[in-house]
Amino acid sequence: MHEARWTRPVLVMLLVAAIALITLDFRAAGSSPAHAIGADVFGPVERVAGAVASPFESIFRTASGHQSGEIADLQKQNDQLRAQLAQAQVAAQDQAQLSQLLRLTDASHLRVVTGTVIAAGGAYSDTVTINAGRRQGIAPNETVLNGDGLVGVVTAVTASTATVQLATDAASTVGVRLAGTGEIGALTGTGATMTAPRELRLTLFSATAALLPGQTLVTFGSVGGRPYAPGVPVGEVTQVTSQPGGLTQTALVTPFADFSGLGVLGVVVSR
């Protein structure tokens, strides 16, 4: 057969090319130009495809009983109230610290750009793409939230799309503090090790602070509000898993946002 003659050399070439790509990307920590080129090529297509697919997806969601009818509305309202409560707690109980934090960020200049999810990553990555990008003022390392709470952080942008790393991604770490006590900790995603609903793992840096189920967490905030704006509600402690005698305390946290049904997301743009 004619293909036997040049199939092997081409195969070897392709394999070498793939390994070279992997190497380059590995050295660049996953941000090689290949991703940028791919985003520029596929971004516009995904915008169209996402717009086309959204109605079908919502039909599927409704048909499968996911977020259907009154229950979904009530659930959403409940989440919103809980988020407001968390913010109110922050405001009431820790106003001094919060104002100090807010002084770090120029809060008056914060504004939120919204975008809709148009594509999602595969089984082993908790990432989504939204249909808003550089043109809308989005830049990498900006906080992403929805009506319920923290969603993630922008990792890459093209002219018209932005890629969001969700807080559940195993590579994501968010600085948080307990709404009531102000104790600080780090919240790490668990990736796909958890079946839905996915929980986050909290590491509280204080070994003696009170850590109880039901406590809510808000983001600690970063300098300039990037990557995380302060005071965004994140989730609720559901199970304390710390071992006695440890230097830190650990717990499982249920996020407020429903990561399996993300729709409209807001990006906190810092200018």
Question: Which DSSP letter does residue 106 get?
Answer: T
Closest by Cα among 183, 203, 211 to 248:
203
Can you tell me which of 91, 261, 264, 271 binds another protein, judged by CB under 8 A? 261
Q: Does 264 bind another protein (CB under 8 A)?
A: no
Q: Does 119 bind another protein (CB under 8 A)?
A: yes
Q: Does 170 bind another protein (CB under 8 A)?
A: yes
Q: Does 195 bind another protein (CB under 8 A)?
A: yes
How far apart are alpha carbons 73 and 76 in whole angstroms? 5
Count of residues of this chain found to bind another protein when the rule CB under 8 A is applied: 70
Closest by Cα among 110, 120, 69, 100 to 182:
100
Closest by Cα among 233, 226, 39, 80 to 151:
233
Q: Does 53 bind another protein (CB under 8 A)?
A: yes
Do 267 and 138 touch, CB atoms closer than 8 A? yes
Q: Tell me the window of 69-77, 81-89, 97-105, 165-173 that interacts with another protein (CB under 8 A).
A: 165-173
Q: Does 91 bind another protein (CB under 8 A)?
A: no
Q: Does 72 bind another protein (CB under 8 A)?
A: no
**Terminal CA-to-CA distance of the chain, rounded, Å?**
63
Q: Tell me the window of 56-64, 70-78, 178-186, 236-244 that interacts with another protein (CB under 8 A).
A: 56-64
How far apart are alpha carbons 138 and 154 in whole angstroms? 8
Minimum distance from residue 24 beta carbon to another protein (Å):
8
* Residues 6 or more apart whose Cβ sits within 8 Å of residue 61: 67, 261
For 62-98, what is the HEC assignment?
HHCCCCCHHHHHHHHHHHHHHHHHHHHHHHHHCHHHH
Can you tell me which of 72, 93, 107, 121 binds another protein, judged by CB under 8 A? 121
Question: Which DSSP letter does residue 149 get?
Answer: S
Minimum distance from residue 32 beta carbon to another protein (Å):
6
Closest by Cα among 138, 193, 190 to 168:
190
Q: Does 193 bind another protein (CB under 8 A)?
A: yes
Minimum distance from residue 208 beta carbon to another protein (Å):
30
Can you tell me which of 92, 159, 171, 207 binds another protein, judged by CB under 8 A? 171
Minimum distance from residue 62 beta carbon to another protein (Å):
11
Closest by Cα among 138, 159, 137, 140 to 43:
159
Can you tell me which of 79, 126, 199, 236 binds another protein, judged by CB under 8 A? 126
Binding site for another protein (CB under 8 A): 1-4, 6-7, 10-11, 14-15, 17-22, 24-26, 30, 32, 34-35, 37-39, 41-43, 45-46, 49-50, 52-53, 56-57, 60-61, 64, 66, 117-129, 155-156, 158, 161, 163, 165, 169-171, 191-193, 195-196, 260-261
